[in-house]
Amino acid sequence: MKNTREKKLVVVTGASSGIGLALVKALLLQGYAVLGIANNFEKAGLSHPDFRSRSINLADLDTLEESLSALLSEIDMPLKALINNAGIGRMGFLEQLSVKDIRLVMDINLTSQVIVTKAFLPLLKKQREGDILFMGSEAALKGARQGSIYCASKFAVRGFSQALREECGKSGVRVTLINPGAVRTPFFDKLQFEPGLAPENAIEPEDIASAVSMVLAARQGTVFDEITLSPRNHVWKKKDA
């Protein structure tokens, strides 16, 4: 990636779909270069001179550090922000969840984010400025039935982000957690429920992009610790069997 126009780079995980894709589009419009990470970008159908995508399976924790160090060596422009957004949901009563799914949720929603953050942190600290954002959830704030493992992963991300904020303040790096309620995205494709159909039953991914833009634009001396967004009228709809 060549620093031809003095651009700043934002790295977005989970950039191929939903919230991440909306973030990429908004950031490109704002003049950032964007490096997206996800499994598969075919569905995103996004082509832009300032957008690069890297297919990395964040669940493959054994190879993740190596993949990230290759990616870091390609970066030759200032890093404005790392947005840890990739995540999955596996919902159900605890006895219904397989150990495989439990591990997958924790690996993707928590451990991969810790490893990605650890990889990018030295660069951000060296610059003495930059933002690290995490996509938490309302599930990071309150436990809910059939959400035990998802909530556990998001509560953990919240604890991690709070501690990291304390660790990073003196070095100029800001840490922000975004906690959305239901957002209308393909996240629900594999779940048995989804937000109600009315516009006020779900947040749109572009609303999250607006919140992120506000975080990035804030005066350097100020940090948004957490932003919680909710649909005005929370309604969940069971999908037909």
Ligand X SMILES: NC(=O)c1ccc[n+]([C@@H]2O[C@H](COP(=O)([O-])OP(=O)(O)OC[C@H]3O[C@@H](n4cnc5c(N)ncnc54)[C@H](OP(=O)(O)O)[C@@H]3O)[C@@H](O)[C@H]2O)c1
Binding site for ligand X (CB under 6 A): 14-20, 38-40, 57-59, 85-88, 108, 135, 137, 180, 182-183, 185-187
Q: Which 3 state secondary structure label does DSSP give 57?
A: coil
Q: Is 150 a catalytic residue?
A: yes
CA distance 162 to 175: 8
CB of 101 to ligand X, least distance (A): 13
CA proximity to 109, closest of 87, 82, 91, 132:
87
Tokens 């609303």 sit on residue = 207
CA proximity to 59, closest of 93, 22, 14:
14
- Catalytic hit among 150, 160, 188, 224: 150
Nearer to ligand X, 57 or 171 (CB): 57
Burial (CB < 10 A; 0-12, 13-18, 19+), residue 207, is middle
Burial (CB < 10 A; 0-12, 13-18, 19+), residue 10, is buried
Nearer to ligand X, 16 or 124 (CB): 16
Q: Residue 219: CB partners within 8 Å, gap ≥ 6?
A: none
Catalytic residues: 150
